[in-house]
Structure 1
């Protein structure tokens, strides 16, 4: 017998029935901690900072109130084909994931979601915007480019979300983000989500947000691994890491494995080293083109390779 869910349901928190019904079809009825904490504040239209690590349910934490307000809120203008909400994320892969999640959640509403990122033709994205869209999810560079070309209208955006803000800082996107924020001169709600809060992220929040409520979905200093993840630490000299990694990969019943590295160069070098040792391996990092990255991911998904070496871009 499973333990009862102690978190309230989305329905109990007052989320529109069209959204709760769509989520229920996906098996989602009750909130996670970050969602339980953010929803009442976000639904009220207030600025907030949500601090939680990846995998804690942040996407629905901002996505559900965003869609609810765009769909049925007195203080958001009626939909007319110009964006009412903008979600800015650091990578193409995350943009696709967030866009898919929002599209499924909005399936029983008239809200239109589109995803915009580099590596795809401008023409397709310009046409999607011209046809009319209510929620835009995208990466900073392409969003700014389309705005400066006049294709992306920001003057009716009522809700702005910055997701993985610390990652966008690490990737050097803050100048683009500041230009996007400066374009939103009218009153709007801003939600910022970040696993960590380095100085520049705090400065950004202080500059562009209005009395934000700071929410932490876990205790300060809590483990950075999810409860379902077992963490084992091996200490090794940098020169020994490839050999130690290769030895670990020989464990019986290992199964599919993802190895994260801090830099693009390390990811490429480790993938080459493991391939030379006879392992079936692919790499995903920022120096690879979009096509090469998708080829590596598809090879890993299909089982053609059973080791993926990646930077955080994965």
Structure 2
């Protein structure tokens, strides 16, 4: 085992030269900033270059686009036909993959076209007539082109299904099976998926021939640069908890993951109403709306993106400081995918999950499965939040550089006001832009949380010691409601009158 690990590490350190890529491709790799291959690239690239069909299980953010993209570029014959087809669930991911393959293959003169719904068919046909070598497409629009015989010189010898489990969740499986009726029988098929549910396994059996299997485990993809926390709250406190944590954490750029599209819209609208710069991203939005939301987030016009898993799949946005799970993800794989939006490019990130007392065991299951340390925190009170925001304001002031314009204005007014008054007026202007509202206390207290942990640990011990007993542990589980507050009114402190919350400029 140790020898295998050492050999694996040596392969990673050997660089991309180990794969025998042509000189122009290596130049594109280096220009793109790639230095050493990731684990999925080390394992998958030789198999793809060897002509094998492949099933690769890996999360977003592990480098899998290059794992299939680089061999595709290496093997292009430039014979004027469409040689490779990449099928992906969302428009955003199609554009992103197209951009990355074009960038890596720039020196090889690789031509790519992304094909997706919401874009004029005539414009797509014009692009397809310019002899692209690689097409990246969403299933619905691709099938429309195939049914209407719009793809000329279409003879792809390499087919990639990317994010296959997301295509299953979005209901594309029947479309995928029909698409394969239009494809050559002699082909190489590569299937990439974060998870392997039964329908994906069945699909793989139908469309792949003696595939090789590569799996980068969840444990390998856990990012040590991400600080992971969870907070135990009551169900009705989710929105108050998110608002309080945004105020106390003061994130520079945030993604909040929700389970449902309507939930993303509702939470985004409520945050906007409270004065935050927020936007929603989900599959029911028009393409132009989705692209506008992504661009606004990238460019800083909004700093909070409320998104569903499917819409955010494949998003590559830098400088995301915080990720919030409004609800616990449905499985550990989704958890790893979500928190992987932060802590990128060597930067630190924070992942925060909200859970109810009854969901405590799910947090523990995710922690055990991913081998990650997820720390239990208590949501700060108004006074604690004020202290944190004041401290950050002071730190920012002390670190802020003095500009020439500031000196110019100071020279104009220094004879009219003393330094103390000037400082206090400037602080008042700064603090007027933010405020903190909501109940003083949100979620369970530290004492409640410790009782909950101890009770659940006791339940586990009883479960192990008395399998098949007469329900001794059930009585304890019924008491979980005891950790709810007796009255919501008890949470509504009059201190809220002195609270502060963020406002848009």
**Residue of structure 2 in register with 1:12 after alignment:** 18
Q: Shift in Å at residue 7 of structure 1?
A: 3.2
The 5-angstrom pairing of residues 1-314 of structure 1 reads 6-70=12-76, 78-153=77-152, 156-218=155-217, 222=219, 225-312=222-309, 313-314=311-312
Q: Do the aligned partners of residues 217 and 107 (structure 1) sit closer, same or farther apart at CA in structure 2, a change above 3 Å counting?
A: same
Q: Which structure ranks higher in relative contact order (CA pairs < 8 Å, sequence separation ≥ 6)?
A: 1
* TM-score normalised over the length of structure 1: 0.91
Structure-1 separation of matches of 2:177 and 2:156: 16
Structure-2 separation of matches of 1:154 and 1:183: 13
Structure-2 separation of matches of 1:154 and 1:210: 24
Structure-2 separation of matches of 1:26 and 1:249: 34
**Residue of structure 2 in register with 1:74 after alignment:** none
> What SS class does the counterpart of residue 13 from structure 2 fall into?
coil
Q: Do the aligned partners of residues 156 and 252 (structure 1) sit closer, same or farther apart at CA in structure 2, a change above 3 Å counting?
A: closer
Unpaired runs of at least 5, structure 2: 1-8, 313-505
* TM-score normalised over the length of structure 2: 0.58
Q: Do the aligned partners of residues 126 and 90 (structure 1) sit closer, same or farther apart at CA in structure 2, a change above 3 Å counting?
A: same
Structure-2 separation of matches of 1:34 and 1:158: 22
Q: Do the aligned partners of residues 161 and 184 (structure 1) sit closer, same or farther apart at CA in structure 2, a change above 3 Å counting?
A: same
Structure-2 separation of matches of 1:87 and 1:200: 20
- CA distances 1:29-75 after superposition (whole Å, capped 9, x unpaired): 320000000011000110011111110001001100111112xxxxx
Structure-1 separation of matches of 2:298 and 2:227: 22
Structure-2 separation of matches of 1:5 and 1:255: 37
Higher helix share: 2
Structure-2 separation of matches of 1:235 and 1:154: 57
| Aligned-residue RMSD, C-alpha | 1.9
Structure-2 separation of matches of 1:155 and 1:301: 35
- CA distances 1:230-268 after superposition (whole Å, capped 9, x unpaired): 221223343221111111111244211111112111101
Total equivalences in the alignment = 303
Q: Shift in Å at residue 303 of structure 1?
A: 1.8
Q: Do the aligned partners of residues 264 and 30 (structure 1) sit closer, same or farther apart at CA in structure 2, a change above 3 Å counting?
A: same
Unpaired runs of at least 5, structure 1: 71-77
Q: Shift in Å at residue 153 of structure 1?
A: 4.5
Structure-2 separation of matches of 1:241 and 1:154: 54
Larger Rg: 2
CA contact (8 A) 1:144 1:180 kept: yes
> What SS class does the counterpart of residue 270 from structure 1 fall into?
helix
Q: Shift in Å at residue 224 of structure 1?
A: 6.5
Structure-1 separation of matches of 2:164 and 2:276: 35
**Residue of structure 2 in register with 1:75 after alignment:** none
> What SS class does the counterpart of residue 150 from structure 2 fall into?
coil
Structure-2 separation of matches of 1:227 and 1:184: 42
> What SS class does the counterpart of residue 231 from structure 1 fall into?
strand
> What SS class does the counterpart of residue 190 from structure 2 fall into?
strand
